[in-house]
Amino acid sequence: MFSFKAYFWNNDVYINEKNKYAANEILTAYLNTNYLSKAGDYLYELKNLRRKLR
């Protein structure tokens, strides 16, 4: 696990006092990731392995 500090000023977000982002830039990047589709792929693979082991 990691930690960071976020500061907000007007429409900007500062991460660890040096990285500046527009307020919605971080949210947009997070929502555009494919975490759920990758999790589904791993689940499918695990189910196949379980079936082979049985």
> How far is residue 53's CA from residue 27's CA, in Å, rounded to a whole number?
41
Q: In this structure, what token pair is assigned to residue 27? A: 């949210």
DSSP, collapsed to helix, strand or coil, labels residue 9 as strand
Closest CA to 19 of 2, 5, 35: 5
pLDDT in the model for residue 17: 78
pTM for the structure as a whole: 0.41
Quick: pLDDT tens for 7-46: 888 888 888 878 788 877 776 777 677 666 677 788 888 8
